[in-house]
Amino acid sequence: MTNDSARLGQLQVTLENARARAAQLLARSQDLRVRLAESASEVAEQAENMATILEVAAGRSDAKRRLSLAAAEREIAGVERRNAARLLGRGDPPLGLEHVPRLGPPPVVPTAFRPVHFGSEPEG
């Protein structure tokens, strides 16, 4: 019976340590989520500012391209605001954060890294 009591005591200490560590990790996770949300909000604000600058500049020249970029910047701002709201929410992971849209043309894949198709030619 003494061995069982000692083992139970060890398990209780281990459980208390695990709970304390879990509480520390949860607090750190919450802190990181708040900091990430603040960063996302800052990016959203910067994107909105850039969009405004592009819209004003569109009146001077190259209006179509500048307005297109401004629309993309506003979309980035929206994505970042939604991500900030998700980060500040009480949901558990996965948070379902959105990726910001790509600006500019898609990246060029060097020929050496393109997939090789044997037999028939790939579609597209």
In three-state form (DSSP H/G/I as H, E/B as E, the rest C), the secondary structure along the chain is CHHHHHHHHHHHHHHHHHHHHHHHHHHHHHHHHHHHHHHHHHHHHHHHHHHHHHHHHHCCCCHHHHHHHHHHHHHHHHHHHHHHHHHHCCCCCCCCCCCCCCCCCCCCCCHHHCCCCCCCCCCC
Q: Is residue 116 pLDDT above 80, yes or no?
A: no
Residue 65 lies in a domain: yes
Q: Which domain holds residue 79?
A: 2-90
Residue 14 lies in a domain: yes
Residue 33 lies in a domain: yes
Residue 107 lies in a domain: no
Per-residue pLDDT band for 61 (boundaries 50, 70, 90) equals: confident
Q: How many domains does the chain have?
A: 1
pLDDT of residue 42: 96
pLDDT tens by residue, 77-108: 999 999 999 998 877 777 789 998 887 777 77
**pTM exceeds 0.75 for this model:** no
Residue 35 lies in a domain: yes
pLDDT of residue 85: 92
Residue 19 lies in a domain: yes
Q: Where is pLDDT greater, at 6 or 76?
A: 76
The pLDDT of 105-114, averaged and rounded, is 69
Residue 7 lies in a domain: yes
pLDDT tens by residue, 26-59: 899 889 999 999 999 999 999 999 999 999 999 8
Q: Is residue 120 pLDDT above 90, yes or no?
A: no
Residue 61 lies in a domain: yes
